[in-house]
Amino acid sequence: MLEITPPDEPAPEIQVDEPVNLRPDLSEYGIVEVERGICEDTFENRSLLRKANMGWDAVYSTNGVPTGLIQGRSRDMATAGRLLSLAEKKPVLVKPDDVNSDYLTGFDLLIEPSAERIVPAWVMGATKMWRKEQNDPIVSEKRKPTYLPHRCNTIKDDGIRCMLWSSGRPKDDGLCRVHLRHISKKPGEDIERARKKIMQAAPYAVDMLEDLMQNAVSEPVKLKASTEILDRAGIRGGVELDASVSVHDARPAAQIISERLARLKENAIDVAVELTNDGVNDAQAIQEATVVEEKPE
């Protein structure tokens, strides 16, 4: 029977969304690049990226499998990416040349042809509901009027305003849902947020332990970092148990027994003396007694 071998499938390629011109040149920091801005995920490369004040992201292949590579991420790269994203939103900016401009709202947003493609669906839905209420106002006191969404008022570290939308409600204070989470807190939310921050900081803590293990000047610090890494990996050293009992007032058993026998001997002599005295007293009492003769009736 003739077997038909399937054609070899092409090897999956790495998937990187950022353009090449936006990726940092890692060779400037002594890192061997696989591609521009991409290197192997090793401790040495991560150490060099940290020293350069850069972060990194894991790189996956087109089929979603980790490739063992990381992509360097600089602040300039993040800012450039935000500017590119903002350039696509120019049609809905009140001042297209101002990166911190407000978004179009109300009727101006509805008549913009590209708004349906650029603006989130919930923003367009709220704006259309607002327009409907202008002709048919809400009479019920239980239902509040629809508010117009607008651009978030938060200014990020790079000086560029947040590009997300705020619901426009007065209680949201002009913030989007992301920045609003940092202000509005529910019972127990602080603990949960702290737990999430700890989980997010865990990879960085491991990196710090690795860095101390390799680059620390003090040998005790290196030893402590090494043992912490081994302990977290489940490799623990032997535990020495001391089963000895320390007795401050230790005496031989023969001495203790002899002391107890001596006390018993003294008690026995005292009892014998008391019994002898009782017998003598009884005899004397009998000798001094008077005999009484009974007369016959």
**β 55-61/38-40 pair status:** unpaired
- pLDDT of amino acid 1: 45
Q: Burial-class residue 26 by CB neighbours within 10 Å (0-12, 13-18, 19+).
A: buried
Mind listing the pLDDT tens digit for each residue in 159-187?
A: 889 999 999 988 888 889 888 877 655 66
The three-class DSSP label of residue 172 is helix
Q: Report pLDDT digits (tens) over 269-278.
A: 776 777 666 6
List, in order, residues 6 or more apart from 270 with CB less than 8 Å away: none
pLDDT above 80: residue 263: no
Task: Examine the pLDDT at 287 and tell me if it is beyond 60.
Answer: no
Q: What is the average per-residue pLDDT within 132-141?
A: 78
Residues 128 and 110: beta-carbon distance below 8 Å: yes
Q: Helix, strand, coil: what percent of the chain each, to 5?
A: 45, 10, 40
Residue 15 dihedral angles phi and psi, to the nearest 5°: -115, 115
In this predicted structure, the answer to whether residue 112 has a pLDDT above a threshold of 80 is yes
Look over the chain and give the mean of its residue pLDDT values, rounded to a whole number: 79
